[in-house]
A and B are shown apart, each in its own frame.
Chain A
Amino acid sequence: MTNALELRQVSKIYGSGPSEVHALSEVDLSVELGELVAIMGPSGSGKSSLLTIAGSLEEASSGQVLVDGIDLATVSRSDRAKMRRRSIGYVFQDFNLLPGLTAIENVALPLELDGTSAKRAREIAAKALDELGLAHRADRFPDELSGGERQRVAIARAIVGERELLLADEPTGALDSVNGEAIMRLLRGATQRGVAGVVVTHEAHLASWADRVVFLRDGRIVDQTVAPPGPESLLAAGDRR
């Protein structure tokens, strides 16, 4: 399997001298295409720093970050920006949709910014919205959509095009547990179709949708679950109650 994301000995230090804060310390993490990884940890454990560094929204203090096999430190600023548009999709807790654009325009925007014709971008966006069950809401503005629908639009925008890495920071934070689960199903569906996904969450029932759960503490990866053995194992005679 190809690693869509690889962090090698990544550290992140904010400030200097006595006010120095070690947000991440020598983190190693690989995420394969088709894999969904959840990051859990207490407040201040470095979850969000890990995600922003993985998405090249900020730089590591030391170590290497490889997206799709390319070391981000070796590419120019403009190429990094291009990678962010083409290869990496982001989903945020507060959706970050542009209020003046309809759902389909929000999804099509990154494609158009990247040079795709408006007509073609709209076709691709329509397909992405359809896959997420939102075809009938395509011409609605964000404030006409429910929280769950807005987040589905944000996911459509994050996976549209040829993106291979999907990064989500508390994507279900503003939603109730059933709508939150629907979002996790969609993220899992996207990764099962071949995208690599990393989702930060503090809720274990949402993290449990991931293939692997990684635990951060004080900026270090302290533990992780192995891939679960499959649903039938739970219903095996010994486990049944």
Chain B
Amino acid sequence: MSVPHALLALLSEGPKYGLRLQNEFEARTGEVWPLNVGQVYTTLQRLERDGLVETDDVEGERSRKRYRITATGKRELADWLRTPPELVPPPRDELVIKVLVALQVPGTDIHDVLQVHRRHVVGIMQRYTQVKAAAGEDDVALALVADAELFRLEAIVHWLDAADVRLKQLPPPTPAQEGDVALEPTRTMEVSP
């Protein structure tokens, strides 16, 4: 989550004080992403230094300052909205690593390992859904934030399901020879942009 750009977006509606920016940030992200007031003012100082926002009162206390977005800030915001986030290369996924390692550990039921993680992920999804259900259908901001988490988690469940099917199709393992080293050299997955 880019706090500077979220603050620029809030200021694009008109000049605002720091405290109001903090309240609006939390409200519009369904209160799932908290932001302390210190973070707000530090970020605003940085935005001011970079010429992306300006204040009405240069000499006043920070809580009395009203911030407004500059033309440069508007351009920066428009560029950011249209810049795809970094998705490639994929992050090192601990779950994938655990499953790959589990395949190497003798006596490990891989389907049991997959199920433990599936249950955990679905359990977290139930909690996000409870948040959405408690908020009501008209809280669009919260629904969007909860959906983002739910669909991210659902992708993990899909991956676990696919892993289950792929591993079921494998021939039964042959007993390891003494002195065998099962681990293969690491391969890097290249994805063309």
Contacts and interface: CB of A to CB of B under 8 A. Distances in A.
Interface of A: 40, 42, 182, 185, 188, 203-205, 207-210, 213, 215, 217, 222-226, 228-231, 233-235, 240-241
Contacts of B164: 42
Interface in B123-140: 123, 125-131, 133-134, 137
Residue of B31, B115, B118 contacting most chain A CB atoms (<10 Å): B118
A204 B157 CA distance: 7
B123 A228 contact: yes
Interface string B155-181: 001000100110000000000000000
10 contacts: A42-B161, A204-B125, A204-B154, A205-B150, A208-B125, A209-B133, A210-B126, A215-B115, A223-B119, A231-B130
A124 B106 CA distance: 61
B9 interface: no
Q: List 6 tightest A-B contacts by C-beta distance, closest first.
A: A208-B125, A228-B126, A208-B129, A231-B131, A204-B157, A231-B130
B122 A203 contact: no
A42 B154 CA distance: 15
Contacts of B157: 204
A185 B133 contact: yes
Interface of B: 31-34, 111, 115, 118-119, 121-123, 125-131, 133-134, 137, 150-151, 153-154, 157, 161, 164-165
Contacts of B32: 235, 240-241
Contacts of B123: 213, 225-226, 228
A185 B161 CA distance: 25
A225 B137 contact: no
Given A42-B164, A209-B133, A234-B131, A204 B122 contact: yes
A234 B128 CA distance: 7
B142 to A, nearest CB: 10
Given A204-B154, A213-B123, 18 more contacts: A42-B164, A185-B133, A188-B133, A203-B154, A204-B122, A204-B125, A205-B129, A205-B153, A207-B125, A208-B125, A209-B133, A222-B115, A224-B119, A225-B126, A226-B123, A231-B127, A241-B32, A241-B33
